[in-house]
């Protein structure tokens, strides 16, 4: 499975960068995962759309569906069987522009809580790792 995570802006918090890098390394056992940080400017939307082209696009959105770890594992397993590439998009401080919203195949909410951008990125990556490890039968997740 190929996963691309697109963020508007780069992580700045040192502890979040460390967590992001750690979980990206762990994910590599189960999936090919890339983190692409895009600088916010006039071409941001164009760049996001180009990266997402041909992929199943999941927007992180406070109005999106919420998953349990097992629910996300089921979603990822289904997607693995029908789509070769997933693209998760974390918007900037003002959310997603209409052009990006219109290319979304799904919307996912990490929580009803609001998180700083860096922490949301780290939570997304850890959650993807957790769900992929469930699918692989790895003991990381405990019920």
Domain membership of residue 141 (yes or no) is no
DSSP states of the chain: -EEEEEEES----HHHHHHHHHHHHHHTTTSEEEEEEE--STTHHHHHHHHHTTSEEEEEEEEEE---HHHHHHHHHHHHHH-SEEEEEE-BTTB--HHHHHT-SEEE-S-SS---HHHHHHHHHHHHHHHHHHHHT-TTS--
Q: What domain count does the chain have?
A: 1
Could you read off the pLDDT tens digit of each residue along the chain, which spans 143 residues? Answer: 899 999 998 888 999 999 999 999 999 999 999 999 999 899 999 999 999 999 999 999 988 999 999 999 999 999 988 877 999 999 877 889 999 999 999 999 999 888 888 999 999 999 999 999 999 998 888 87
Domain membership of residue 140 (yes or no) is no
* pLDDT at residue 105, rounded to an integer: 94
Domain membership of residue 11 (yes or no) is yes
Cα gap 122→23, rounded to integer Å: 8
Domain membership of residue 107 (yes or no) is yes
Domain membership of residue 143 (yes or no) is no
Cα gap 134→81, rounded to integer Å: 16
Domain membership of residue 78 (yes or no) is yes
Host domain of residue 131? 2-135
* pLDDT at residue 130, rounded to an integer: 96
> Is 134 within 8 Å of 32 (Cβ atoms)?
no
Cα gap 77→124, rounded to integer Å: 17
* pLDDT at residue 95, rounded to an integer: 83
* pLDDT at residue 9, rounded to an integer: 87
Domain membership of residue 88 (yes or no) is yes
Residue 130's CATH number:
3.40.1280.10
Domain membership of residue 142 (yes or no) is no
């Amino acid at each position: 499975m190929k996963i691309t995570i697109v963020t508007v802006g780069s992580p700045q918090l040192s502890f979040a960068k460390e967590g992001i890098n750690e979980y990206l390394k762990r994910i590599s056992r189960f999936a090919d995962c890339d983190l692409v940080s895009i600088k916010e400017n006039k071409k941001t939307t164009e760049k996001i759309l180009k990266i997402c082209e041909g992929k199943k696009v999941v927007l992180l959105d406070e109005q999106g569906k919420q998953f349990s770890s097992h629910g996300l594992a089921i979603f990822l397993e289904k997607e693995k069987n029908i789509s070769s590439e997933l693209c998760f998009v974390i918007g900037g401080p003002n959310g997603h522009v209409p052009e990006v919203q219109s290319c979304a195949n799904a919307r996912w909410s990490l929580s009803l809580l609001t998180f700083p951008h860096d922490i949301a990125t780290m939570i997304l990556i850890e959650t993807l790792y957790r769900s992929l490890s469930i699918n692989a039968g790895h003991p990381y997740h405990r019920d």
